Structure 1
Amino acid sequence: MKEFYFLIIGFILGLAFYPLIKNYLLNKITDKFTDNKKVQQDILKEIYKSNKENNILTIDILHKKINIPISNLLKILSKLISLNYVYLSDNDIRLTNKGKEEAKDIINKHRLLESYLFEKTSTKLKDIHKIADKKEHLFNEEQIGIIKNELSNPCIDPHGDILDENILDENITSFSKVITLGYCQENEIYIVKHIEDEPAEIYEHLVNLDLAPFDKIKIIKINKDYISIINDKGKKIDIVHFYANNVFVSKMEKNEKLQNYFDFLLNHEIITLDKLKLRNPGLIIGLSFYIRGIQRQRLMELGFIKGNVVIPMYNNSISDDPRAYKIKNSIISLRTEQASKIYVLDLLSLNNINQEKIKELINV
């Protein structure tokens, strides 16, 4: 009789907990599938990168890059070969055309997700790459289309990479002239094309220096310890050579107007808005690249654009933060965190220089 009662109780408990058990098993199966898919796509990306750089990629080298047991790696490689994604050529692992297209697709998804996290979320910059790397395998084409529409079909990711790897391949000659900052020459002007996001510690340091993709920079001085530059917002930055290897630039053509602009920046002190004295008019030289998404759009709509004049009117009576600024006949409240990313020229520091001439000079 006891056995019968236990059987009935077991049956009732099974019915009660069936949805939980079902979900648990499904999640386990899904996790296993996702992990396998992630590893396969990570392997394809690694092979693509190696092939693109014309490096030899043996199984031993790939094993060091992909942190899984060698037996699992061999099984996955065997599967990728059977799917016509990969082939071996004299112990060098290569992608087929089908494999290249698959690798490009996942790289494009990764860059798009980085752009979304950069523009639409408050994710810390140092975490964006890691999160995109984890989530890139989970999105289908319909979801990717929705993200593209929400971002108005962006072309560049937060590190300066073109979102469509196929476009990069088609224009490979224009990117062959890209060099690292360490190979630059003094007194020449360059544009930052890409900032490598790994290792994360170096990337975070470069971000804290406010060095960003699309910055125009002039090399002031190079010595054995560091490279001294000034960017087009007037910020002077010293970068040690080890970190300079993570910054990729392209030399700009000779341009007298741009040269005159940098000469002007070098001869005048550019400060951030939070450092501008009360009641002193400041000419906006530029906004940091790292003012992101909706915040950037709001500031620009309020008038915080290059060439406009802003005046600090008064501080918060208790903490000096936020601070009130006058711009285009409106009073706007900004916190130090925002104001410290807006670069200005104190107009009262100038000696008999026409403001309109300055605006014309900085309009490059």
Structure 2
Amino acid sequence: MADLVDLRSDTVTRPTAGMREAMATAEVGDDVYGEDPTVNALEAEVAALFGHEAALFAPSGSMANQIALQLLVPPGDELLCDADAHVVTYEIGAAAAYGGISSRTWPAVGADIDPETVARMIRPDGYFAVPTRAVAVEQTHNRGGGGVIPLATLRDLRAVADEAQVALHCDGARIWHAHVADGVPLIEYGQLFDTVSVCLSKGLGAPVGSLVVGSAEKIGRARTIRKRMGGGMRQAGVLAAAGRYALAHHIDRLADDHARAARLAEVIAPFGVLATPARTNLVALDLTKHALDARALAAAARAEGILISVLGPRTARLVTHLGVDDADIDRAVEALPRILSA
């Protein structure tokens, strides 16, 4: 069989030749001492992109999110987010386990958020209730099929947060995709949030790394939290160099991933299994009314040389990324209709 077409996730990418060269030649130092020049340059660059004072390089998106949440929510107080948010779905209970954070969710609607619903959920101090300290949103939304929260909705959420005097965090693991899809400058997104986490190892194709973005005071505290969580790295410039290369070379090309996802969605749509429109690089499938369940679909696809992600008994996902080209999509769009119609 020819090489497998891996549509499971945009985390399966491998460094390009140019990225490997940047890593090999990176100037490095001890980042725990703040002496790695490549890490320092990456942090300054990302902070500037989002219009904030500072940023902190972390090994993973989960750690970056959890650092941000601990900055905003004291132990015993409350975070609000949607029921399918990454921070409460795929981070293994870290907010409670490491931050002592209580969480409460609104019904999962992906990127389709109602700010008025969020406003009604916020609990003030007093009344012997757990006070709300922060609201978290996800841009783009993973389990929401890569949906993009409209800028107008985010501005309304900012107004809600300001009125209630709570903080607003963005899990921006794939915010680069939202920037390309809707043309919203990254600095406009950044100015709406108290903290933002961004990922370099998904759509941008770096092997490792995320950053927390915020004020200088918050990022100062974040360094202590990162060290406590085991995230203090030494000559991390080798990894930061990959991130800097990705920022310089791999943002605009995300439009290619979006176009390829749209091709996949177009051939899948007639079978009634698209969970949401394909706005960015994720194609979400709902197999509730289909003869195949998710595992059976994945097995049939693998037999055709196509790998897809199983998210639940009747939910699956296809993801386009740096490691998938037009020829790979040609193979997928030929095989998937045959599988779904069997």
Tell me, yes or no, whether TM beats 0.5.
no
The structure with the greater share of residues assigned to helix is 1
**Which has the greater radius of gyration?**
1
**Greater RCO (CA < 8 Å, at least 6 residues apart):** 2
TM-score, reference length from structure 1: 0.27
TM-score, reference length from structure 2: 0.28
